[in-house]
Amino acid sequence: MGRSSGIPCTAYHYCTSGCPKQIPIPEIFATENLRLRERKIQESREALAEIAGCGSFADACIRCGQCEHACPQHIPIISELTDIAGDRTVD
């Protein structure tokens, strides 16, 4: 799946169990998919703001790779989080 069609996350949280920054990766990806798949820009922004207000966000990633190693979908999680963090600073 390309980025334009969304992030193929199944939200099983394999990626989060060992995250040293406790980043809610599936929840962040779900809000990004609101924007990418459903074109719900405002809803996506509001959901991302709520997640960011609750603790670690995409920009907290230290690129340790634990999440990518654990992901059964082989999603390039670090790259996706970097893109999402960058998109957030532009909005």
* Of 31, 36, 39, the residue nearest 11 (C-alpha): 31
CA 26 to chain centre: 6
Domain ranges of the chain: 22-90
Q: Can you give the pLDDT of all 91 residues of the chain as single tens digits?
A: 444 589 999 999 999 999 999 999 999 999 999 988 888 889 988 998 888 877 778 999 999 999 999 999 999 999 999 998 886 554 4
Q: What is the pTM of this model?
A: 0.84
